Amino acid sequence: MVKAQSPKVESVQIDWEETQWSDGGLTNPEYYINVFGRINNIEESGWGVDIPINDDDESVNLEEMIIGNYISIGGEPID
């Protein structure tokens, strides 16, 4: 999903130490897996994806995952 967002993204690295479970907050009772990482092996790059968890069986719903943090290099969004 991250790589498909821009032709400038040649590779995607996941930061497994930053991956976490979270809830949607007061207005959204859903739970999510938040995945973060870098692109193109650039240390100062970043992105984030939120993957919803189904309440019924705790499976992930990949069709509804969303970019939670824009793809950036040095804090600036890439085109």
In tens, the pLDDT along 22-62 reads 876 666 667 888 999 999 999 999 999 998 887 777 788 78
Read off the amino acid at residue 35: V
Does residue 29 form part of some domain?
A: yes
In this prediction the pTM is 0.81
pLDDT at residue 8, rounded to an integer: 93
Q: CA angle at residue 23 from 4 to 32, to 5 degrees?
A: 30
SS3 45: strand
pLDDT at residue 26, rounded to an integer: 63
- Domain limits for position 41: 16-77
Q: What is the DSSP-derived secondary structure letter of residue 29?
A: -
SS3 64: helix
Does residue 63 form part of some domain?
A: yes
Burial class, 39, CB count within 10 angstroms (exposed 0-12 / middle 13-18 / buried 19+):
buried
Looking at the 3D structure of the chain, how many domains does it have? Answer: 1
Does residue 2 form part of some domain?
A: no
